[in-house]
Amino acid sequence: MTTLTRTPLIILGALLLCALTASAQEHVIKFATLAPEGSTWMNVMKEYDAAIRKESGNRLGFRLYPSGVQGDERDVLRKMKLGQLHSAGITGNGLTTVSPSARILDSPFLFRDQKEIDFAYGKFGPELEKAMDEAGYVNLGWAEVGYVYMFTNNPVRKKDDLSKTKMWMWEGDPIAEASFDALGIHAIPLSITDVLTSLQTNLIDGVYTSPLAAIALQWFTRVKFMLDLPLANAAGAVIISKKKYLELPEDLRTILTTNGRKYMRKLTELSRADNANALTTLKKNGITFTQPSSEDEVRSYAGIGSTARRKLVGKLYSQDVLDRLESSLEEYRRTTGPAKK
């Protein structure tokens, strides 16, 4: 081979290499979340990213935007519609927009323990994911936020104690509205950013959130009691726009979804541990946990949950899916016995 013929071959080789390098950067999934850098959510997302990069030979990877830098969940979903972002970690608010029926798993006093939660996600997850798919999103994995409790400045032992509470309600949240309506609470709708100040000024004296969020948002510094009976279990998920998903070659889709299930399950387990630790922290910081005064009282909350869930039929989900979910849980309880917290 002469030098003249060799040179173009070298150039061709270099061009091919450039093309390969360029293709390695083709499949970047822009992901946004409200979770801050260093949080369990972001730590697991980084592990997920590392796993898909490794398995795909660096052809697929996330670009992670933590800490709400891309805006709140509504902003992020809007940017996903415009193609500026492809993927997001979403919770209640975002789920209501993406696929309202998925919020059935957020409904009040539905689950008695975490095994029931896992059972319900296992049985109804695929159906709810199908609804997401029809709305243009692929669910890469459910990642729950965790049990939501009511925190108050007056002790709540009986349901009637709640009626005296000036309870905050996240404005525009249908689940909270139905729940507090059924509980006979006249809740005060406010933006989440106004909650701490409103607790300080006594505009409200009750809030609901997960134990970890109560600490991260510093709300725990302004309340004294927590009713030790979860109001609900808050759902979360990592989704990708179907458009972006379908642009990926099939082998990369498999890598993305297989790892999505794996790492979101890990995230759920870690979030449960975080929340369990957060409960201990709350106790250490002087929050008193109150219990429902009797078994009848516990049963009455279950009844309230049932009433609230019916108020959401037609708004978030169908009567059919609610009936099937409730009867599946009853069947599950008959076969597994008493709940374990």
Partner 1 sequence: MTRPTIILSFACLLLFQGCFQQIAVGSLTGIMEDGFLVLNEESDLALADASIASNLKLIESVLKGDPGNDKLLLMACRGYASYAMGFVEDDDTARALLFYRRGRDYGLRLFPADGALAVALRSDPAGLPDALRRAATSDVPAIFWTAVAWGSAINLDRTNPDALAELPRVEAMMEWVREKDPRYFYGGADFFLGTLKGSRPAILGGDTAASRVHFERALELNGGKFLLTYVYYAKSYARQTLDSALFGRLLTAVDTASIDILPEARLSNAIAQKKAIILRDKINEFF
Contacts with partner 1 by CB under 8 A lie at 34, 36-40, 43, 63-64, 67-70, 72, 192-193, 196, 211-212, 215-218, 220-221, 274, 277-278, 280-282, 284-286
Reference 180, options 301, 96, 293, 290; nearest CA is 301
What whole-number distance in Å separates Cα of residue 245 and Cα of residue 230? Answer: 36
Q: Which residues contact 210 (CB under 8 A, 6 or more apart)?
A: 145, 146, 147, 148, 149, 234, 275, 278
Nearer to partner 1, 7 or 285 (CB): 285
Tell me the closest approach of the beta carbon of residue 38 to partner 1, in angstroms: 4
Tell me the closest approach of the beta carbon of residue 278 to partner 1, in angstroms: 4
Tell me the closest approach of the beta carbon of residue 201 to partner 1, in angstroms: 16
Nearer to partner 1, 57 or 286 (CB): 286
Classify 35 as helix, strand or coil.
coil
Tell me the closest approach of the beta carbon of residue 35 to partner 1, in angstroms: 9
Nearer to partner 1, 34 or 185 (CB): 34
To which residue do tokens 């309506």 refer? Answer: 181
Nearer to partner 1, 212 or 304 (CB): 212
- In what helix (H) or strand (E) does residue 127 lie, and over which residues does it extend? helix 114-134
Which two structure tokens, joined as six digits, stand for 61? 């990877």
Which two structure tokens, joined as six digits, stand for 59? 């052809």
What whole-number distance in Å separates Cα of residue 204 and Cα of residue 180? Answer: 14
Tell me the closest approach of the beta carbon of residue 266 to partner 1, in angstroms: 13
Nearer to partner 1, 280 or 288 (CB): 280
Q: 199-214: b or e for each residue (b if 16 or more CB lie within 10 Å)? A: beeeebbbbbbbbbbb
**Contact, 207 vs 197, CB < 8 A?**
no
Characterize the bridge pairing of strands 168-170 and 146-152.
Answer: unpaired
Tell me the closest approach of the beta carbon of residue 289 to partner 1, in angstroms: 15
Nearer to partner 1, 74 or 243 (CB): 74
Helical packing angle, 319-336 and 114-134, nearest 10° = 150
What whole-number distance in Å separates Cα of residue 226 and Cα of residue 208? Answer: 9
Tell me the closest approach of the beta carbon of residue 273 to partner 1, in angstroms: 9
What whole-number distance in Å separates Cα of residue 175 and Cα of residue 335? Answer: 29
Q: Is the dihedral of CA 111, 274, 198, 229 positive or negative?
A: positive
Tell me the closest approach of the beta carbon of residue 68 to partner 1, in angstroms: 3
Tell me the closest approach of the beta carbon of residue 229 to partner 1, in angstroms: 20
What whole-number distance in Å separates Cα of residue 91 and Cα of residue 33? Answer: 10
